[in-house]
Amino acid sequence: MGRKKIELKTIECRKEKSSKFSKRKKGFLKKAEELAVLCNTDIVLLVFSPTSKPILFYSHSRPLSRILEKLSSMSEDEREERLIFRVFFYYYIKLYFIYIINMKLQEDDKLTELREARELLDRKTSILRKWQEPERVDDLAQLTIMDDHLVFNLSMFKKVFRS
């Protein structure tokens, strides 16, 4: 797929690895998007980059709210799938908060924001804690509130992290 055929083994050169990663990641996410659209499927993708920042993907043309909508209309037999999504996304949100805090820590003049971020994390963690026992959450109204939180939080994170 290029000037030369390359051997399928880990690239040792750091710079080359990073450049290959960003190139191939782009193509890979495009493929994910195409697969999701063409075949009307839900895809969730977690990639840890060489620089270890986790990348979460879900198809843009099938936004999270629509996935959640689909999940909420699932039969009882499929409920387990719903649980996967919810727990997965909630953990991811928590991860993102931790990244915010780590970023803030590197800026001495941002202590107020750091404090705010910590408070936010504490609040969100308490929501998460309830979700660590999702089988106990059986009130549909409560589920809806949780989903709203989820959608809101993700949109907020998108603002913070552009890509």
The minimum distance between CB 70 and its own copies, in angstroms, equals 9
CB-count exposure of residue 93 (10 Å: 0-12, 13-18, 19+): buried
Supply 21's token pair: 């990663």
List contacts with its own copies (CB under 8 A): 6, 8-11, 17, 20-21, 24-25, 27-28, 31-32, 34-35, 37-50, 52, 54, 77-78, 80-81, 83-84, 87-88, 91-92, 94-95, 98, 102, 129, 132-135
| 42 touches DNA by CB under 7 A | no
CB-count exposure of residue 153 (10 Å: 0-12, 13-18, 19+): buried
- CB under 5 to 8 A by kind: which of DNA, its own copies, none does 126 bind? none
| 99 touches DNA by CB under 7 A | no
How many Cβ atoms from other residues are within 10 Å of residue 96's Cβ?
Answer: 20
- CB under 5 to 8 A by kind: which of its own copies, DNA, none does 9 bind? its own copies
| 155 touches DNA by CB under 7 A | no
- CB under 5 to 8 A by kind: which of DNA, its own copies, none does 2 bind? DNA
Q: What is the SS3 assignment for 55? A: strand
Q: What is the SS3 assignment for 77? A: helix
Give residue 121's identity as a one-letter amino acid code. L
Judged by CB under 7 A, which of 40, 41, 46, 50 binds DNA? 50
| 26 touches DNA by CB under 7 A | yes
User: Within 13 Å and on the Cβ side, how many CA atoms surround 141?
Assistant: 0
* CA–CA gap between residue 58 and residue 60 (Å, rounded): 6
Q: Closer to DNA by CB, 20 or 124: give it.
A: 20
* CA–CA gap between residue 14 and residue 30 (Å, rounded): 24
- The site for DNA (CB under 7 A) is made up of 1-6, 15, 17-24, 26-28, 30-31, 49-51, 163
